[in-house]
Copies of this chain bind each other. A is one copy, B any other.
Amino acid sequence: MKTGKRINIGLIGAGRIGRLHAENLTRHIDGARLSAVADVYLKAAEEVAQKFEAPMAVSDYRTLLENPAIDAVAICSATDTHSAIIEEAAAAGKHIFCEKPIDFSLEKIDRALAAVKKAGVKLQIGFNRRFDPNFQKARQLVEDGKVGTPHLLRITSRDPAPPPLEYIKVSGGIFLDMAIHDFDMASFLMQRPVTEIYATGSVLVDPEIGAAGDIDTTAITLRFEGGPIGVIDNSRQAVYGYDQRVEVFGSEGMVAIGNDTPDQHVYSNKEGVHSSLPQYFFLERYNESYIAEMRRFVRCLQQDTPPAVSGKEGRLPVVMGLAAQKSFQENRPVKLAEIDS
């Protein structure tokens, strides 16, 4: 594949996140074209195809895989379909962008990654936060040695409101659904392996979440190789909006990332000094990062360079999520080697 070639992308899954990628591919990414949309609900596929002027809408994604004009697929379907579609897409010689997480089962993930390797196609996992300008800046400062040797990592990640209970029930639980982003961020920022995890948590936001077998508030401690320590806290509900902060502290300094706000106004009256809440939801907060990750995926196909977030990198947060889950269940620190020996 030569530099500059127009990449034809087939979208698999026309839900919220699929629609987002469709829009970004159409409006923001030179060198790519949304060539087809597949969704088990044909109507959804047709609607997205029409809105973004894709020439093809189908209900069976295999139709896309058989189409030689399509260079790559973006897998945005339900998590439990990811690994199978990856295997089939790889076999069909398509490059693959796959939403996170690859799967909840390490066995399935390993089968999918093996298929990708065998086919020699490219696979990028949708850990979009790595492409956020804020976290990019943090990573860059760490890489440039501005923080020195990292000693402590803090990640706060709180949603503005819990998802629907129906979603929670199939989400894989807070560690695999929500903290998984933070596990990836921890790897991205610290650039060294986590060796052990301790997770504790509670049901404080909504007892229904507890009834559904999940928790809604958690604090997770990570031990990194060589001694650095990370702490992650998650909540399903921050009434003041989407709270997304990180902090890397080391021997030479600290970089802290605050929340983006929709404006920079400060209003002072006799009650106090007031300013804007964080961007409310992930679609606004991470808007740029979704564009950037897809731009990067397209560029890696055009220039034949390694993908930004590899299958191996996409697998690691699942290992960490499973370790956190086990730690919470058994109330003890769990070594990653117990999960993935």
Asked if A111 lies at the interface with its beta carbon under 8 angstroms from chain B, I say no
Asked if A107 lies at the interface with its beta carbon under 8 angstroms from chain B, I say no
Residues of B within 8 A of A254 (CB): 238, 240, 243, 267-269
Using an 8 Å CB-CB cutoff, how does the interface string of A291-304 with B read, 1 for contact, 0 for none? 00000000000000
Q: A137-B263, A151-B205 are in contact. Are A231 and B229 (CB under 8 A)?
A: no
Docked pose: A249 CA to B133 CA in angstroms: 26
Per the 8 Å Cβ criterion, residues 213-242 of A in contact with B are 217-219, 221, 223, 227-231, 233, 235, 237-241
Contact (Cβ within 8 A) A257 B251: no
Docked pose: A203 CA to B251 CA in angstroms: 12
> Which of B28, B235, B259 is within 8 Å of A249, CB to CB?
B235
Contact (Cβ within 8 A) A219 B221: yes
Total copies of the chain: 4
Q: A202-B229, A219-B221, A228-B202 are in contact. Are A249 and B238 (CB under 8 A)?
A: yes
Residues of B within 8 A of A329 (CB): none
> Which of B156, B204, B263 is within 8 Å of A134, CB to CB?
B263
Docked pose: A231 CA to B153 CA in angstroms: 12
Contact (Cβ within 8 A) B27 A235: no
Q: For the complex formed, measure the closest distance between the CB of A185 and the CB atoms of chain B, giving whole angstroms.
A: 14
Interface size class of A (residues with CB under 8 A): 35 or more
Stretch at the interface among A60-68, A71-79, A186-194, A273-281: A273-281
Contact (Cβ within 8 A) A240 B269: yes
Asked if A86 lies at the interface with its beta carbon under 8 angstroms from chain B, I say no
Q: For the complex formed, measure the closest distance between the CB of A255 and the CB atoms of chain B, giving whole angstroms.
A: 5
Q: For the complex formed, measure the closest distance between the CB of A125 and the CB atoms of chain B, giving whole angstroms.
A: 23
What are some 24 contacts across the A-B interface (CB < 8 A)?
A134-B264, A138-B265, A141-B265, A146-B269, A151-B202, A151-B204, A152-B233, A198-B221, A200-B229, A204-B227, A219-B229, A231-B233, A239-B253, A240-B273, A241-B268, A243-B254, A253-B269, A254-B267, A255-B265, A255-B267, A256-B266, A257-B264, A258-B265, A268-B277
